[in-house]
A and B are shown apart, each in its own frame.
Chain A
Amino acid sequence: MATDKFPVEGSHIMMFARSVADGNQIYYDADYAAKTEPGKIIAPPTFAQSSAQFDPDYFLRPKLDEDWFGSGKEATGIKKEASGSGGGGGGGGLHAEQHFEYHRHISPGDVLTAETKPGKTWEKEGKRSGKLVFSETITEYRDQNGELVITARGVGVRTERPVDQ
């Protein structure tokens, strides 16, 4: 998995900050940001996750030429004969862990690449959801000069059945 071009843009940062209910002016007001320690608009700490928008193959975004597994008229748009997966459950499992290391904070104008490599996988027996299969991915975000700016490590988990409530 790779994202060749993740342009960091001011309006995307503003929308992302709103989406995490963060009203800090440094995320949308360039005049205010100029007077802060970073001296310019920066991205909120978890913004790198939105590189998914620029990953052409990201599987949790509907594609023009593919069936989408979310509901339309029926509960899932995946046609029975089109897929042998039997419904797909939670659509890719749940997010178990996320870690970021910031080598520098990114700003509008940066153009990043993201390269994702698989990490460890392991299994565990869960009380509330049966067998759990964990898998780790490591993503390196580099800027337009090839400098490493953020290292991200994510852990996803697939559960045998939905988590008991």
Chain B
Amino acid sequence: MALAGKDLNVGDTYTECLVEDLKRTQIVMYAGASGDYNPVHTDEKFTKEIAGYPTVFAHGMLTMGMTGRMLTNYVGDGRLTKYGVRFTSQVWPGDTLNSTAKVEEINDGLVNLSVETTNQEGAIVLSGYAEARVD
């Protein structure tokens, strides 16, 4: 399951579709599990009339969490040592997200990856990095 350093090459990529047509209920599930009940994620009336956005939008951490699934599916369970991201665009209900990890460096039993998640229009919604132990 886990990656072997000898099988990896700089530039290798791994891609997963994180979600197709993101449902509002998924965002509600994330609010409930994480405890982040900011109404901009679940409360249409507040979000339009008070916050000034066209509709509710996903927690950045939901995108980071789904992107984390891509990473752990790639590097194996319990292998991540670092994972960090920048949220570059909002994610909206109905979005379809794809995420790619790319091997940047392999050193001393560790692999460094760049990570990018894009929406159906090709806009980058999350960019970051991860480090994982490899065999």
Contacts and interface: CB of A to CB of B under 8 A. Distances in A.
A112 B45 CA distance: 37
Interface residues of A, number: 51
A98 B46 contact: no
Contact of B82 (A88, A91, A97, A102): A102
B78 A61 contact: no
Contacts of A24: 69, 72-73, 77
A50 B68 contact: no
A46 B126 CA distance: 14
Dominant SS at the A interface?
loop
Interface residues of B, number: 51
Interface in A42-95: 42, 44-46, 49-50, 52-53, 58, 60-62, 69-71, 75-76, 87-92, 94-95
Interface of B: 1-2, 18-19, 26, 29-30, 32-40, 43, 45-46, 48-54, 59-62, 64-66, 68-69, 71-73, 76-87, 90
7 contacts: A20-B66, A22-B72, A36-B78, A69-B39, A70-B37, A96-B86, A97-B85
Interface of A: 12, 15-16, 18-22, 24, 26, 36-38, 42, 44-46, 49-50, 52-53, 58, 60-62, 69-71, 75-76, 87-92, 94-102, 105, 153, 161-163, 165
